[in-house]
Amino acid sequence: MSRNHSQRWWLAYRWLLIVTSIAGTLAMCSGLASALPKGPGLPIDGYRVVKVYPHDPQAFTQGLLFADGKLWEGTGMAGQSSLREVELESGRVTKQVDLDPVYFGEGITRHGSELIQLTWKNKTAFIYDAATLRFLRTARYEGQGWGITSDGKVLFLSDGSSQLRVIDPATWKVLHRFQVMAGKSAVDKLNELEYVDGEIWANIWYADQIARINPETGSVLGYIDLTGIYEHSRPAISASRNKEMVLNGIAVDPETGRIFVTGKNWPRLYEIERVGK
């Protein structure tokens, strides 16, 4: 083999290695952060990490909430589901109520002076006093419970589909439903919810994006792309991320506008700022 031919072969081989490596990396990431959802022309914001806080890596986060200077978190998994009051700076759990092992905890919200926690398939919501986490009562609803938020008047529930239910908090009857649409495409896998300045923000299961939804029309107003946020504090993060460790948890401080996000079994909670692209 000539020297020139040998060099060409080696360059081609190196290029093949690079392409294979890139393809493998993309394939690995695709299960955790899918391509941006459909909706041509919709604005896509980025983010800036303002501060990083510790988070219990054993917490299978299903709901996150911040109000009156307090952080609350709802966790899932049978036999591990709980409602917690958490110290933001340290990540220490200061109060905790454990659900009976038959219940799989889901999203949480505050409505008035009460905290509400959904369950996945039990069609039961648990309602607590926000100041003390004292159990008050249960409420029944149809279908699965994934995410929940309140605008102060009604409740919005997700069930993993593209539909959101609007619930009367006094009777827990469905007032109406609406489908979340990005242009002409339905946006499904809607998960944890947060009501923010007249919008509903929704985690999208298996994607590192948040959809911003008009609660009157169901139209997606835009997205916040959080790709790469889990890896932001490496090498501080030693745990490898599997595909079930999805972004799931949005909390906004209504007094200051601070935004907090985390995910299932993530060792960090992030305070972020939206950055327009």
Q: Which pLDDT tens digit goes with each residue over 10-44?
A: 344 344 333 333 333 333 333 344 456 555 689 99
What is the rounded distance in angstroms from the CA atom of residue 63 to the CA atom of residue 126?
13
Question: What residue has token string 């031919």?
Answer: 5
pTM of the model: 0.85
Euclidean distance between CA atoms 69 and 31, whole angstroms: 35
What pLDDT shows up at residue 4? 44
Q: Which residue has the higher pLDDT, 37 or 154?
A: 154
pLDDT above 60 (res 178): yes
User: Residue 29's closest CA among 235, 267, 224, 240?
Assistant: 240
Cα(213)–Cα(14) distance, integer angstroms: 46
Residue 235, pLDDT score = 61
Q: Where are the alpha helices (DSSP H) in the chain?
A: 3-30
With beta carbons less than 8 A apart as the criterion, state whether 106 and 76 touch.
yes
The per-residue pLDDT for range 199-254, each reduced to its tens digit, is 999 999 999 999 999 999 999 999 999 999 988 766 666 667 878 889 999 999 99
Mean pLDDT value across residues 248-264 = 95
pLDDT exceeds cutoff 60 at 3: no
Q: Please tell me the predicted confidence (pLDDT) of residue 25.
A: 33
pLDDT digits (tens, 9 = 90+) for 62-110: 999 999 899 999 999 989 999 999 999 999 999 999 999 999 999 999 9
Cα 236–chain centre separation:
22
258 has a pLDDT exceeding 70? yes
255, pLDDT greater than 50: yes
Structure tokens at 182: 């990005």
Query: How high is the pLDDT of residue 41?
Result: 81
- The CA dihedral of 30, 36, 38, 42, to the nearest 10 degrees, is 180
Q: Would you state the pLDDT for residue 231?
A: 81
- In the block, which residue shows the tokens 């790709």? 227
| Helix, strand, coil percent content, the chain, rounded in steps of 5 | 10, 45, 45
**Residue 208 near residue 32 (C-beta atoms within 8 A):** yes
Helix (H) or strand (E) holding 158: strand 155-158
Cα separations in angstroms, 39 against 36, 45, 46, 180: 9, 14, 17, 11
Which of the pair, 17 or 6, is modelled with greater confidence?
6
At residue 35, the pLDDT reads 52
